[in-house]
Amino acid sequence: MDAAIVAARLVQFTGAMVLFGTPLFFLYGLRGGVTGAGWAKPLLSLSAGAVLVGSVIGLVLQTASMAGDPTAAFDRETLMAVITGSAFGAGVLARFVAAAVALVALFATRAGSRLWLVTTALATVVLASFAWTGHGAAEDGMAGRIHAAADVLHLLAAGVWLGALAALAGLLTARRRNLRDVEALHRALAGFSSVGTAAVAVIVTTGLVNSWFLVGPSRILQIGASTYGLLLLVKLGAFVAMLGLAATNRFFLTPDLESGLAAGAPDQALAALR
């Protein structure tokens, strides 16, 4: 059951980060708009749906685990007790409501800055709700508040990255040969250079804060001796990959696309980006 709980949580994390980072990317990277981005609303709707489905499945599985009885997950009173009487339940409820409202907005509102702003705001609530049951929530006083704030910022910064990558993948694979759209993509890549670098800085800083609380400076050399330590090393590897991608974008991809536009050969530059 633990593996299923982890899988449900991973689905929620992925959906929430795309739901947050992709519309945010449209706001700071594509202020001029881009045609041929009809994939955006379906992608975000799918992400919101993943959060909804993952939340329900996660609630059922976690309730069964907490009660020590698989049948408890289908008992209305037990489920309501978990939802109304625990931080976990409150987090799931907030997450579900925010994702549901985002899904309605995506169906009812035309694509544009207003929709991206609303979706980003709601997705912020979705991501922040995970911190309600994180390590920081288990601590009291100022230390607990600092740890919880670091958790939230860590999740948001990761969402900036994952959502931007999803948006860039969509833009690069969409059918476009319009010069205006290629120029918009260039502006987006240039914008992501700065925002992505800032996101990495936040991830590093908040990661260090979390490690200080969870590992402690006295045990840093034994970091590989625990499951958490091994997971932290994996995250460090992902961080190195993020740095490499950010550097590649800043020093190669964006300048190459700019050169292609200047030379009147944007298609060749786009092919290189892909």
Q: How many domains does the chain have?
A: 1
pLDDT higher at 133 or 179: 133
> What does each C-alpha distance from 253 to 185, 186, 188, 245 come to in angstroms?
11, 9, 12, 10
Residue 109 φ/ψ, nearest 5 degrees: -120, 140
pLDDT at 60 over 80: yes
Q: What is the mean pLDDT of residues 14-37?
A: 83
Q: Residue 188 belongs to what domain range? A: 2-273
pLDDT at 125 over 70: yes
The residue to which tokens 């987006």 are assigned: 188
In the chain, alpha helices (H): 2-29, 40-67, 76-85, 87-108, 113-130, 141-173, 179-214, 227-248, 254-262, 266-273
Do 55 and 196 contact (CB within 8 A), yes or no? Answer: no
The model's pTM: 0.83
What would the two tokens of residue 213 be?
């609380």
pLDDT, averaged across the chain: 80
Residue 21 φ/ψ, nearest 5 degrees: -75, -30
Rounded percentage of the chain residues whose pLDDT exceeds 90 = 32
pLDDT, tens digit, for every residue of 246-272? 666 666 666 666 665 555 555 655 655
> What does each C-alpha distance from 131 to 119, 155, 261 come to in angstroms?
19, 8, 44
What would the two tokens of residue 104 be?
């309605």
